[in-house]
Every structure is written in C-alpha cells, then in structure tokens.
Structure 1
C-alpha cells in the first residue's frame, strides 16, 4: 500500500494519472488537522468525480478498509456510491459525483416517513451482509464513566443528577450485547446525499464494522424536528429494533459530542449550549415514552 506524499492538488493529480483519470482539474475540498491520524481528504475532480486520498499510514488504513467494504457490498446493498476507480498503489478511491444535498440540509422539507423507508431499505440490506467476516466497529461515543465524571460541569445544577442517572440507565440497557451486524458506523446526515426527497447515496464507510444494529440509528433522534425520522426508520426496518438501545447509544453520542467540543472550545454544531442539548434529550425520551430515571 502506497499513500500520497501530501494532501496537495498536485499529489492527487499525479496519483490520478497512475489510475487512468489524469487530465482533470482537481479541487481539494476538505481541511485536515495536525494529527497524522486524520491526514486524509477528498477532492472534486473535473466536476465528475469525488476522490478520497490519504497521506499517512493511520489514515491510509481507514481508506483501504473503505475500499474493501465497498467492493464486498456491491451489488447487493442499495444507495452505495458508484466506484469509478480504486487503488492501493497509489491509495485512492474515486466515485461518481452525486448531485444533491446532505440530509441535514433537507430534513425539514422532506417527507420523513418516506425518508425513513429509504433509510430502512439501506440499513436492512447492509445489516444483512453475512457472507464474509468484518472486524468489530470502533465505537465512537465516550464511555459513560467519562460522561459521569466530566459532563456535569457543563450542565445546569438541576440537570446533573439526571445526566448521571441517564448514564446508569444506558449502562443497564447496553449490558447485554445486541444483534451484531455490519454497520456503517457514522451514518449522520452529512454522509447521506439526498435529491428531491430521494436518497441518492450513502458515503464514507471508513468506520464500517460489526456492532449493534441500533448503533447505526444513534444520530437519528437528533436529526430534524422531534423523533419522526427515527420512528419512521424503525417502522420500515425489516426486523424489530430496540428503541431503548438506540437511545442509549444516542445519549452517549450526543453527550460525548457536546463534551469534547465544550472542553476544546469548539462551538456545538447548532451553536447552542450543552444545557440545551440535555433539555433536548429529556424531550426525546418523553416523546418516545422512555423513562431513563427508572
């Protein structure tokens, strides 16, 4: 496996020449941080393709994993990006550019029942892939021990006991392993391309691996108004899912996101406060008929 020398447009153009996609203008479109773990990005090539690439070993291993996953899933799983070229020497993944917007941009304007049906179709097929062995997914949310210790200082005094009891509840819910399936692992709205109410592609399979089926739905309760997208997806999903397990993962994900951003001085995605996010969690529990206080 040979990753790129750097993240410049020139390095990408040189790699594209080696895989037969040379001669197109290259526009690198993602910024990167200082940690080599994240030395990866994507570029739009000739307004026809999206090319993912990496220039460090940790980032390269994730991209090579995504290439393997996409190859294994075609043609059985719907809504996958069309792979135009892939290579590990040099390492890159080129897919057809799909017109559309992220789910975050359109969720307020689309039919959420129909959106849930399409997402359930994707998830049902993805979670049914059993013909080859996949590694365990690297689960992202902070542990409840970390949340109990560090999050209360970012909550209002009247919220702190609830946050701790919610963490206890999540531990109880997740104590018994759930049905292990191949999950996307990072199915937030930014990794979905929608056009006129239709799901066109699900992208970014770098963290795909084995985990609870409910793990893939953990961001849905916070996507769009209320919990309609979650309930619609669960209603159309071909097997029974546990809403408690979804919310246990959602709790960990939401609080972990608010925690690291607050600790790092980074604004929360909606530019509100951790206290407001705790209020949102309480509202979602109530809407779903869940009492995490026992």
Structure 2
C-alpha cells in the first residue's frame, strides 16, 4: 500500500484513501478534524446499511474507531465524468433517483440521526451569492458579470424560503459515483452527510464536467417523482447549481488550479446560460415557483 502524503493547509483535509491488494479501499486521517469526519462516515454507513434500504452503498469490511479506520470493498468502475457521454441519461437518472429517494426517506434520516446526533444543515455549502458578486468579476467577461449579478438576484429570490430538509449525501458529484457503463455500482464518501432540501442534492447533476445539457438532471427529477410522488423544483435545483458551479470556478481560479474540464470560468457561464434555456427558465425575470406536491 502506498500512503499518500498529507496535503498542506486546512487540517480538515488531512485524510486520504488507498487501495490494498486490489480488493479493498482504506480510508484514514491524520488530524483531529479529518478524523472526526471519518468517524462520522463510519457511523453513517453502519446506520444506513443495517436496514438495507439505501442502494449503492459501499460494503464495509472494517469500520473501526480504535484505531480509526474504514475499509470498504473495492468495486471496479469509472467516475460518472468518464462515462457520461456514452450512457443512457434516462437509465442513469432512474438509478440516481432510486438512490436519492431511499436516502431522502424519513426513516433513513432517523437512523442516521440516532447514530450521529441531530443533523444541522449541509456540510459543504457552496459560495454565497455575495461572494460571487464580489469576487468572480476578474475571471469572466464584463458582460457576463452583469448577467451573473442578475442570476444571483434570481437565485436569492428562489431560495429565500427554505424547503423541507431531508438526509442528503451532500457531495454527489461525478467522482463520488462508480459506474460500470450504464450501471451505477456505488456511491462513495458519506462524510459530508447532512440535512438540506432535496434540490440541494441535485446541484452537481448538470455538471460542470458533463457538458451544457440537462438530460441527466431532468431524468433524475422525473424518476424521483415516479418513485416518491414528490415533485422537485427545477428552479430550486438550478439556483443551487448556479451557486455550486460558480463557486467551484471561483475557488479554483483564485487558487490557480485548473477547472476540472480544463476550460474557463467564462465557458462555464455560457454552459449555465444554455442549461437555463434548455429548462425554459429565465433567471432574469421574477421567479415563478411551482407549488410542491
């Protein structure tokens, strides 16, 4: 086993994982903040796996707090980012909806809270619209910044009244999913589990890293309604997506780190515009929000 070197900076991220014997994945930590998050993930996976109600969970081989160690069975596959251009988006959306519907069920939240205590909000919230207004301008075109300012006003209006909170994975981007062609095999990294509205969970499904389309997002929402009977709001999902995508572009640009798809923040803004158009959402107008059913 090769142990990765510790990342500098915030002790929260002093953690790593390694593959052992081509069969197992070992997660460990070497700072107190990172260790607390790993211990929390161990408790969460134990709580969720006992009832076998949530699909696509890692198989825990060892979950120990003394010594602190999480060992899960390695599942071969690829990140969603690697396969998204070759899979059936409707089938993929159906599988993601199965995972989300089970995770968002009140019984799952009750089991996790019994294990780790009361859940208070999302663990990795994206940048605020205030930060985007103040700091994104240097990385995009002047006319785009004026547009983004109006989009931020729209997002603030859409999210002004919080939706009902459910148990959320909290970081459901493509690299936290393992796919075998069209089949979702695994969802990983449950250390960011928290409480937020269901649409918060959808913020990474349009990308970035998956082109300007929204087919996966709309398929997941459609199948989610079929499974749960609950209608998700595309406006709320896109308001969270706006903050998430531009937050990612902002911190990476400020840290001089390339964007995941090696394009520019300006191109990401263009993608956002295309997604709004595809969903028939006009973020420059006053939001007309559908009632929840």
TM-score, length of structure 1 as denominator length: 0.88
Alignment RMSD (CA, Å): 1.3
Indicate how the Cα distance of structure 1 residues 31 and 287 shifts in structure 2: closer, same or farther if over 3 A, else same.
farther
Indicate how the Cα distance of structure 1 residues 61 and 187 shifts in structure 2: closer, same or farther if over 3 A, else same.
same
Indicate how the Cα distance of structure 1 residues 196 and 160 shifts in structure 2: closer, same or farther if over 3 A, else same.
closer
Q: Secondary structure at the match of 1:221?
A: coil
1:234 corresponds, among 203, 217, 221, to 221
Q: Secondary structure at the match of 1:194?
A: strand
Q: Aligned-pair distance for 1:188?
A: 0.4
Unpaired runs of 5+ in structure 2?
A: 286-293
The answer on 1:82 being equivalent to 2:59 is yes
Within-5 A mapping of 1:81-230: 81-128=58-105, 129-132=108-111, 133=113, 134-136=118-120, 137-222=122-207, 224-225=210-211, 226-230=213-217
Q: Is the 8 A contact 1:39 1:59 kept in 2?
A: yes
Q: Is the 8 A contact 1:41 1:52 kept in 2?
A: yes
Q: Aligned-pair distance for 1:34?
A: 3.6
Q: Aligned-pair distance for 1:135?
A: 1.2
The answer on 1:273 being equivalent to 2:264 is yes
Q: Aligned-pair distance for 1:196?
A: 2.8
Equivalent-residue separation in structure 2 for 1:245 and 1:147 (angstroms):
18
Q: Aligned-pair distance for 1:29?
A: 5.7
Q: Is the 8 A contact 1:63 1:206 kept in 2?
A: yes
Q: Which residue of 1 aligns with 2:243?
A: 252
Alignment size in residue pairs: 269
1:61 corresponds, among 36, 59, 74, to 36
TM-score, length of structure 2 as denominator length: 0.89
Q: Is the 8 A contact 1:116 1:230 kept in 2?
A: yes
Q: Which residue of 2 aligns with 1:287?
A: 278
1:10-30 Cα shifts (integer Å, max 9, x gaps): xxxxxxxxxxxxxxxx23368
1:104-152 Cα shifts (integer Å, max 9, x gaps): 1101111110000000000000010242434122242001111111112
Unpaired runs of 5+ in structure 1?
A: 1-25
Q: Is the 8 A contact 1:166 1:293 kept in 2?
A: yes
Equivalent-residue separation in structure 1 for 2:2 and 2:124 (angstroms):
32
The answer on 1:38 being equivalent to 2:10 is no
Q: Is the 8 A contact 1:28 1:44 kept in 2?
A: no
Of structures 1 and 2, the larger Rg is shown by: 1
